[in-house]
Amino acid sequence: MQNVLADLRAERGLSQAALADALGVSRQTVISIERGRFDPSLPLAFRIAGHFGLRIEDVFRPDPE
Amino acid sequence: MALSPSARRWVAPVLISLPLTAALATFVAWRRPDQPFWLVVAVFTVVLLPTVATGLKVLVTDRATTDREIAAHQHDVETSWVKEAGSTAFFVLIGGLIFAETLGDVLRLSWLSPVGLPHVLVLGLGTFAVTYWYERRSAS
């Protein structure tokens, strides 16, 4: 799954650690999601999207086939 | 008598589902005039109540449960590594032990057939450690 988490975080001037704290997850989790190495659970995806005031599909999208 | 926090989460779903289930059971009993009315109501209420209450509990407390899970770091990438490593170790352990015992029987190797606790620990913990390291390396 692809995502624009790094772009959203950069737009708001947030560090990975600050975003991790805000989401209640580890910094490594944010790093792994941004690099596309870890697909978050649905509850966590909702929390991420909600944190930026967006819908899940605005943050995450499936890999092109 | 004070209820535990987990029991308290069941109070609202059960109280809400009780009249719902009773109403549904009454409707079923009304549709079955050949059966004893109150018996049908009682049986259907008892049978349906757990299902309806569980469904309502999921709907009512789902958000709180999710928040607690996230607060407990159950959605972190590290948790996924542990789950993956544990799952791999379990299946390698089962498969490895069956393979070792079968191979020992077939080749008649007395030292291979009997598997002891040290072998299990080495294989299980070793697989867990290697898988966790691999998952962490892949995600970083």
CA atoms within 13 A on the CB side of B38: 0
List phi, psi (to 5°) of B10: -90, -15
Distance of CA B74 to the CA centre of its chain: 14
Distance between CA B136 and CA B82 in Å, rounded? Answer: 10
CB of A28 within 8 Å of a chain B CB? The answer is yes
From chain B, the residues in CB contact with A25 under 8 A are 70, 73, 75-77
ipTM of the complex: 0.75
Q: What is the pLDDT of residues B46-80, one digit of tens each?
A: 988 998 888 887 766 666 666 767 777 778 888 88
| Structural domains of chain A in order of their starting residue, each with its CATH number | 2-57 (1.10.260.40)
Give the chain A residue whose CA is nearest to the CA of B74.
A25
Residues 6+ apart with CB under 8 A from B96: B123
pLDDT higher than threshold 90 for residue A13:
yes
From chain B, the residues in CB contact with A44 under 8 A are 70, 75
- The reported pLDDT for the residue numbered A48 is 94
From chain A, the residues in CB contact with B66 under 8 A are 43, 46
Name the DSSP class of A37: S
Give the chain B residue whose CA is nearest to the CA of A41.
B75
Report CB contact under 8 Å: B78, A28. Answer: yes
The minimal CB distance from B75 to the residues A25, A35, A37 is found for A25
pLDDT above 90 covers a percentage of chain A that reads: 69
Best B74, B76, B78, B84 residue to mutate vs chain A (most A CBs within 10 Å): B76
Q: What is the pLDDT of residues B4-45, one digit of tens each?
A: 777 777 888 888 899 999 998 998 888 888 889 999 899 989
Give the chain B residue whose CA is nearest to the CA of A45.
B75
Distance between CA B124 and CA B86 in Å, rounded? Answer: 9
- The reported pLDDT for the residue numbered B57 is 79
Contact B56, B19 (CB under 8 A): no
Mean pLDDT of B83-92: 91
- The reported pLDDT for the residue numbered B71 is 74
Report CB contact under 8 Å: A28, B76. Answer: yes
Report CB contact under 8 Å: A43, B139. Answer: no
Report which of residues B62 and A2 the model is more confident about: A2
pLDDT tier at B1, thresholds 50, 70, 90: low
